[in-house]
Amino acid sequence: MKQLSSVKAFEGQQIQISHHSDLLNCDMQASIFLPPAAEHQAVPALYWLSGLTCNDLNFVTKAGGQKIASELGVAIVCPDTSPRGEGVPDDSEGAWDFGLGAGFYVNATQEPWKKNYQMCDYVSMELPKLIESQFNIDAQLKSIFGHSMGGHGALTIGLKNQDSYKSVSAFSPIVAPMQCAWGVKAFENYLGNDRDQWKDYDACELLECLGESLPTLIDQGTADGFLEEQLMTDLYVKAAGDAKGDIRVRYQQGYDHSYFFIATFIEEHIRFHSGHLQASESEC
């Protein structure tokens, strides 16, 4: 691991690192905010997954989460949204919704993608192991959240790893990628034509199959231009109706898909996760 930068923010440190990923077969960057509490004790961690076209710095520079994270004593880890670098395949037409910047947090099974696009295991296994070995972070206390494509990633990874995370939340998530153009394009390329394989990365399908969820908070803006055709939040509300667990979906009037929306409610999401992380810590 190589530290690229470290700057003081709200008495903590905002750090950017690079490292070689064996899973993704390339060098990767990630950003970590360490609260001041990490100077003297292992702290819980929130893993933030960003959306299409983003990288590890979008949340860091736009969401404004460092102040409340510092106050509550939680770290925030922001991975990139796809593998990067020379030799990593990209969309042949340079489209923004597939390829570089659009890994969709799946483990690709198709050529030429499978050599590099193993984002599900990278986010849930390889990166946490690295972060926990290098920083003062409690490996037993972590939660996951994200936006749009990253909201899809957070929900699906959280649902499939309920023993690993304490809670999950999302802003404007793609909840039914099997039924929207963004998801179908990504899944056909990364996973092939067997739609049964797609279900492992569709939050609605997973929730209906598993029948239970981690504590979940979803915020969706009503003025989001992607709501009807790509995000389909109502389908998750329907799937959650028969599922066990505390699942809250809030429609926020007049908000769109941007980071202004995220910045408005980010404190509530971090407090939501901190409450579950602290409760788990007390039980230990």
Identify the residue whose tokens are 């990874």: 157
Evaluate if residue 13 carries a pLDDT over 90.
yes
Cite the active site residues. Answer: 148, 224, 257
CA distance to 36, 122, 186, 258, per residue, from 222 (Å): 37, 32, 25, 12
pTM: 0.97
In a 13 Å sphere around the CA of 155, the CA atoms on its Cβ side amount to 39
Q: Where are the domains of the chain?
A: 2-283
Note whether 118 and 153 are within 8 A (CB).
no
Residue 272 has pLDDT above 70, yes or no: yes
| Cα R_g (the chain), whole angstroms | 18
Beta-bridge partner residues of 14: 7, 33
Q: Which residue has the tokens 């029948």?
A: 211
What mean pLDDT do residues 227-254 have? 96
pLDDT of residue 284: 55
User: Which amino acid is present at 196?
Assistant: D
User: Measured on CA atoms in the order 270, 271, 272, 276, is the torsion positive or negative?
Assistant: positive
C-alpha separations of 9 from 6, 33, 186 in Å: 10, 9, 37
Tell me the per-residue pLDDT of 155-207, one tens digit each, with 9 for 90 and over. 999 999 999 999 999 999 999 999 999 999 999 999 999 999 999 999 999 99
The helix/strand/coil state of 137 is: strand
- Give the model's pLDDT for residue 197: 97
Write out pLDDT tens, residues 114-150: 999 999 999 999 999 999 999 999 999 999 999 999 9
Annotate 148-207 with DSSP letters as a single string. THHHHHHHHHHHHTTTT-S-EEEES----GGGSHHHHHHHHHHH-S-HHHHGGG-HHHHH
Q: Residue 23 above 70 pLDDT?
A: yes
> Quick one: fold of 2-283?
Rossmann fold (3.40.50)
Q: What are phi and psi of 212, to 5 degrees?
A: -155, 160
